Amino acid sequence: MLIGCAVAQPTFTSSEAARRPKVIVGITVDQMRYDYIERYWNDYAEGGFKRLVNEGFFCRNLHYNYLPTKTGPGHASIYTGTTPAVHGILANDWYIRSLGRTINCVEDTAVKGIGSDSHYAKRSPNNLLATTIGDELKLFTNNRSRVYGVAHKDRGSILPAGRTADAAYWMMSDSGNFVSSSWYMKDLPKWVKDFNGSGKADAYMSQTWSLLKDISVYDESMDDNNAHEVPFEGMLRPVFPYNLSELAAANYQYEMIKETPFGNTITLDFAKALMENEQVGKGEFTDMMCISFGSLDLIGHRFGIHSMEMQDGYLRLDKDIEELLNYLDKNYGKDNYLLFLSADHGGHPTPSYMEKKHGAYGYWKSSVMEFKVDESLDKKYGAGNWVSYDSHYQLFLNRKLIAEKGLNLHAIQDEVAAMLLEYPEVQMVFTSHELSKFNGTYPMRQMIERGFSQKYSADVVYVLKTGFMEYGLRGTDHGTGSSNDTHVPAIFFGFGVNKGESFAPYTIPDIAPTVTSICKLPMTSGCTGEPIIEVIKK
């Protein structure tokens, strides 16, 4: 296992800077399964995903190696080179026993929003416990490198950029504006205010989302009108075209942009504006841009992975990727930037669709399980609220109640675990007192341990059978240890990268040490990954 650490500030000369790229560009595509590269290959243009694969290095057998496979921990793991047990981002939100409530992975009541008074702008990387690639870059150059995060999701911009970033920006659903927080700045730069005032968000809201190509191209997808998708509010059927301005009022206003491919495009627009106005990559030292494209995740949740909406979203993202590559070529030169692309998680096939195909898929109702656990413990030990919280397949018990009744916590955990194993949808169950020993040898247990916190994780962690997910008749979800959720692409492109591909097994924590190795930087503070030697040009 590799453990990186910050080193004393080096003497850093311009000749040494010449051995590093002008800019590092990290791209995270939210909910991108590995097979989207292959499934839509014939429909992609030559300058987007195809160019990345043909001219870069494609790791075809890279997986997440922990649970849960969620957006927050996914972004953090890519950039810290480690897993939630080390970097501290356990999920998108998790239950804090001392508070009696959940916290969002990037919430921070100690900061204020910059550009918005909403509590959704009170965000920071305060919960992140390990350094990112960008943090190490800034430490190495004595803060002379600049690091930025851009996404329309707050966690998609904040966590990749790290604790020492110059700025992270995300888009507010109520206004369509990109905002930040006082963690980074006292006021928005003029160019951000100009961007927000340019009417660009309103221009996208006036668009109609129609198929990019002739409907005959979408033969990799289900029929447009089917029973496995969730229509937008105000529509009877989930079918093209989607008039954003007509749907906005019933669908959280500018959230409509995020739930269409236009959310990715406006993110790219803002990223380019940032690079131009902040002169990213134009100085003596390497800078870094962290860009997260989040629209495909929202499209997947609503329409599922086999929908025409998902395919169209990727064809449109392909155009955005091509535009970004052309921009980087023009402004930095083809060999002067290092780009890497991966995903924060994959996505499940919609169980209702797979059931029709006789697949071993189905749904799980955690709320029914919670009720039955409470009911069973009520009968045996007396009335009480025995379950405090259940999320991400983790069950938090009411430890205060257990202590008040003089019961043994480990014994109650074991009892609840035995109850859960009675459910046909549940494959295996682990208790926190078992996981705290950190002696797992079975792969699934190792995945759970890499996402487990002795301090904050649940009393009982359960794993559903492959193909099962939380109840919902349409759309999709993610979060399991199935390859549906763990298998994602990783592509390296540009400066210091060999051309080629590999089917060797790699994991998400291997991305960060590969990037730091190419750029001759210290490894991140909690790094548990290994550099992918095949990628690195010697």
Which of 525, 508, 524, 530 has the alpha carbon at shortest distance from 65?
508
- Assess contact for 311 and 224: CB atoms under 8 A: no
d(CA 104, CA 89): 10
123 Cβ contact list (under 8 Å, min separation 6): 104, 106, 107, 108, 111, 113, 154, 155, 158, 170, 181, 183
Beta pairing, strands 426-431 & 460-464: antiparallel
Strand (E) or helix (H) holding 86:
helix 84-87
| DSSP-assigned letters across all residues of 172-190 | -TTT--EEEETTT-SS--H
CA dihedral angle for residue 267, residue 273, residue 274, residue 280, rounded to 10 degrees: 120
- Mapped onto helix, strand or coil, the DSSP state of residue 450 is helix
- Assess contact for 515 and 27: CB atoms under 8 A: no
Strand (E) or helix (H) holding 79:
helix 71-80
E strands in 108-175: 113-114, 147-151, 167-171
Alpha-carbon Rg for the chain in angstroms: 23
Q: Residue 405 carries which side chain, given as an amino acid letter?
A: K
Active site residue 71: yes
Tokens of 304: 């599922």
Token look-up 């995060």 returns 149
Q: What is the CA angle 532-534-538, rounded to 5?
A: 105
Catalytic residue among 28, 69, 71, 82: 71
Half-sphere exposure in the Cβ direction for 145 (13 Å, CA): 30
Number of H helices, E strands in the chain: 22, 21
- Assess contact for 497 and 57: CB atoms under 8 A: yes
Catalytically annotated residues: 71
